[in-house]
């Protein structure tokens, strides 16, 4: 096909403002129910957040929350919901609600004040651990999953809290905390605590220790192994966000993946993930970012052998991995020519299924510009990295050099 000559900047685009406004936001991590098959995810639709559920025995996903807009508001947001034992626990209007996945309406289990985020259900299903923020003070709180008791402060004293998780035995928890003026990518602390019942029978902190991190080291996303032996976490102590294991019996730390690639993220928001254990604790899947592209990899815990998940090779950005009790993996995935999708992989990781799409995907893939990773040196000798998108069209060409639009982070 002969292409028309049109000046740069005047090429008609198949992407319109209307088509962009009609898309859905897929940003939050999906969550699997305990059956290992039911998947719940969050869709941003205009000004509303809607939980969508795909039942194990249902072919068509359905909206779960129809009256409430799901959105957590601690810090920059995120950590909007979790799923356990046939129920969704989500944040709306600052409160945590519980709603059955099969049928039934949502009801609040926390009071109508403060803000909440990152709900995490205890292994026995009795307690809900979460991050709270009230009158400019943050901490960790605990409430029963029925909402019959008043929430109790569990941990406080630091300025900011993120990513609380339960040990599978239910007697330990871990979380990340830090203080002003640090940002979570500057320096954070990995905390580990042992719980004991108080006089009223609610779990309370009996022992607490900082086991990694500090003023100059950032810790990201603690995750207990399903067998209870290890606590995995991401640390930038080497200068790169790499993957480490803490042996809960011996108290020893060891690197599991140590290389010049980023396995963590700048934790702007609650609920961000880059790692997830497989249900038998034999391996961890993780997002590996290099030269502006992120792909899903797998590492064997015993041998350290690692390899990319080839079934996702067509995607150049993978995030928010979640693994079910049956070994199914869910990730958000996209590429330069593929809008964001929620994709699941089989336990053998040899087959994928698209569960949700952020857009209608009506624009031909050939109409997109393919990014090229580039690198240059700043005035002080610091390496700078970027992605260069050259003008591209199947229908139009231009003479001369195109104008260059540079987009940089302002922070």
> Phi and psi (nearest 5°) for 310?
-65, -25
Q: What is the pLDDT of residues 121-147, one digit of tens each?
A: 999 999 999 999 999 999 999 999 999
pLDDT at 363 (0 to 100): 86
pLDDT at 411 (0 to 100): 54
Residues sharing a CB contact under 8 Å with residue 127, sequence separation 6 or more, in sequence order: 121, 142, 143, 144, 145, 202, 203
Sheet strands side by side (includes 329-335)? 317-323, 329-335, 338-345, 352-357
pLDDT at 377 (0 to 100): 93
Task: Confirm if 185 and 239 have CB atoms less than 8 A apart.
Answer: no
Q: What is the pLDDT of residues 156-211, one digit of tens each?
A: 999 999 999 999 999 999 999 999 999 999 999 999 999 999 988 899 999 999 99
Task: Confirm if 289 and 296 have CB atoms less than 8 A apart.
Answer: no
Q: Extract the residue ranges of the chain whose pLDDT is less than 50.
A: none
pLDDT at 23 (0 to 100): 81
What is the C-alpha separation between 178 and 219, in angstroms, rounded? 10
pTM confidence score: 0.94
Torsion of CA 385, 163, 221, 77, to 10 degrees: -20
What is the C-alpha separation between 276 and 270, in angstroms, rounded? 16
CA max distance for the chain: 81
């Amino acid at each position: 096909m002969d292409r028309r000559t049109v000046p740069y900047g005047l090429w008609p685009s198949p992407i319109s403002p209307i088509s962009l406004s009609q898309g859905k936001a897929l940003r939050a991590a999906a969550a699997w129910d305990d059956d290992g098959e039911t998947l719940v995810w969050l869709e941003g639709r205009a000004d509303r957040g809607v939980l969508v559920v795909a039942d194990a025995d249902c072919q068509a996903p359905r909206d779960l929350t129809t009256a409430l807009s799901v959105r957590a508001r601690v810090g920059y947001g995120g950590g909007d919901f979790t799923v356990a034992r046939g129920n969704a626990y989500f944040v709306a209007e600052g409160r945590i609600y519980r709603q059955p996945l099969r049928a039934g309406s949502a009801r609040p289990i926390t009071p109508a004040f403060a803000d909440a985020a990152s709900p995490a259900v205890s292994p026995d299903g009795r307690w809900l651990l979460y991050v709270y923020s009230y009158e400019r003070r943050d901490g960790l709180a605990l409430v029963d999953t029925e909402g019959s008791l008043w929430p109790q402060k569990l941990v406080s004293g630091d300025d900011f809290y993120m990513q609380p998780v339960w040990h599978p035995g239910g007697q330990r928890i871990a979380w990340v905390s830090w203080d002003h003026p640090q940002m979570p990518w500057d320096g954070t602390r990995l905390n580990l605590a042992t719980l004991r019942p108080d006089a009223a029978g609610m779990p309370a902190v009996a022992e607490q220790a900082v086991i990694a991190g500090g003023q100059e080291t950032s810790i990201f996303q603690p995750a207990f192994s399903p067998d209870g032996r290890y606590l995995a976490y991401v640390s930038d102590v080497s200068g790169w966000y790499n993957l480490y294991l803490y042996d809960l019996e011996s108290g020893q730390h060891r690197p599991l993946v140590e290389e010049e690639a980023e396995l963590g993220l700048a934790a702007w928001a609650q609920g961000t993930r880059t790692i997830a254990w497989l249900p038998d604790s034999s391996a961890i899947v993780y997002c590996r970012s290099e030269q502006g592209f992120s792909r899903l990899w797998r590492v064997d815990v015993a041998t350290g052998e690692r390899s990319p998940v080839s079934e996702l090779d067509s995607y150049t950005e993978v995030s928010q991995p979640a693994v079910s009790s049956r070994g199914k993996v869910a990730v958000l995935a996209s590429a330069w020519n593929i809008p964001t999708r929620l994709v699941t992989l089989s336990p053998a990781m040899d087959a994928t299924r698209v569960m949700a799409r952020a857009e209608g995907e009506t624009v031909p893939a050939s109409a997109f510009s393919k990014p090229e990773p580039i690198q240059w040196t700043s005035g002080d000798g610091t390496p700078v990295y970027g992605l260069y998108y050259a003008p591209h069209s199947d229908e139009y060409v231009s003479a001369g050099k195109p104008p260059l639009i540079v987009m940089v982070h302002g922070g």
